[in-house]
Amino acid sequence: MNNYSMIINGLPVAAEAGSFAVIDPATGVSFAESPCASVAQLDQAVDAADMAFQTWQYSSHEERKALLHKVADTIENHAAELAEIIVKEQGKPLALAQVEVGGSVAWTRYTAELEIPVEVVEDSENKRIEMHRKPLGVVGSILPWNWPLMIAVWHIMPALRAGNTVVVKPSPLTPFNTLRLVELMNEVLPAGVVNVLTDQDQLGPAMSQHEKIRKIVFTGSTPTGQHIMRSAASNLKRLTLELGGNDGGIVLPGADLDAITEGIFQTSFLNMGQTCAALKRLYVHESQYEELADKLVAIAKEQTLGSGFEEGVNFGPLQNQMQYDHVNRLIAEAREAGATIHASANVPEGEGYFIAPTIVTEATEGMSVVDEEQFGSVLPVISYTDVEDAIRQVNASENGLGGSVWGADLEQAQAIASRLECGTAWINGHAEVLPHAPFGGCKMSGFGVEFGQEGLFEYTRIQVVNINR
């Protein structure tokens, strides 16, 4: 592993607060040391971003588009390196890491081409009123560990396209991808436009309170999002919070199980279940409950666990000890509460954070594996008799990120999907996020949207120009 540096004002900087170990989740052993920034270095990074903003905000749309395409070229040229870093620090199989890098390139190119039009509110004989969208200033990005490169791109690229500058802080569990990404971006962009600091989470509060940071975009847990929201009141900074999700899916009576089972499994266990919008609770009508559960268990048995670098592996470890312990607790508590645990894939020996894909049957409301977000390789399957009760159970969660309905009658499925309390409702699918479709949650899953035109506008403020002729 190369020694990647933090970047402030386009230059590598040495850590002022020492370093910390980064663990390979496939072995449970440290493989490298990451630099650790001080609060003083955060101030330096914000000052650099603020200084760069004085020029960058006036760059033309065409200039920003061209530079973002160059950034995409640079990511693409270093795709193999970035994918290997993802596997080493995050744990996912290499093929999935390659998908993450490819998606990051495509997302950057799509974002580059988004327009920020001037809207004419009135154009009469005596008056013209225009609505312009202006950049905010310095944007603070706080990243999670599950999709370290992809979510960095989701945060950074629209901020830049809108004319903002950025200070980004990756998760201490997966710092190296972001360090390398920002290093590569600084080969293309003006100094200070994107800065990166790594730490062990002491800088988050300082970022959310910082008077010169005008917006925080955060992907992570609901409790952390609540802390950020409280701190952000100091200067009324804008927020985009994509927080926890405990997405429910409803399989309607008469559904074609052969057509949907693979999709249900893959969207439940995407990235070993460590995806905010993964399907995390499955409600199946009693007439098909046992058949669908058996099909899911059969697919789970076929998965090959191991290091993401090993050929043939399609299911990696959980990313960290805390998540490993959390998922194991949920499984143990479900067993104690009377549920049946199905986990037959072979788990590699050693200290890695491996949990075989686990189907939990006879799961019910009130079990922690149902009521809590698992964010890992376990799926509770709940039987229902009446679809109205299934809708009630899905909506009973305090979260509202995504939900889905699976069935052959699309009109019925859409009618039910419209009643789910969530930001995105999928039909015969789940966990699909697209660069042109706004994505965000409701209730305790946060607010604000990402992606598409609406997501880009989250990085702007409105200025109305009122012209009297």
Which residues carry out catalysis? 242, 276
Amino acid making up residue 457:
F
Host H or E run for residue 329: helix 321-336
Distance between CA 224 and CA 411 in Å, rounded? Answer: 39
Helices (H) and strands (E) counted in the chain, each on its own, are 15, 22
Distance between CA 14 and CA 417 in Å, rounded? Answer: 51
Burial of 336 per CB tally in 10 Å (0-12, 13-18, 19+)? exposed
DSSP 3-state of 325: helix
Cα torsion through 402, 407, 411, 412, rounded to 10: -80
Host H or E run for residue 29: strand 29-35
Distant-in-sequence, close-in-space partners of 18: CB < 8 Å, separation ≥ 6: 36
Distance between CA 254 and CA 463 in Å, rounded? Answer: 53
Rounded to an integer, what is the distance from CA 434 to the centroid of its chain? Answer: 12
Distance between CA 74 and CA 78 in Å, rounded? Answer: 6
Residues 136 and 215: beta-carbon distance below 8 Å = yes
Rounded to an integer, what is the distance from CA 31 to the centroid of its chain? Answer: 25
- CA-based max dimension of the chain: 78
Distance between CA 138 and CA 52 in Å, rounded? Answer: 9
Output the 3-class SS for 339-362: CEEECCCCCCCCCCCCCCCEEEEC
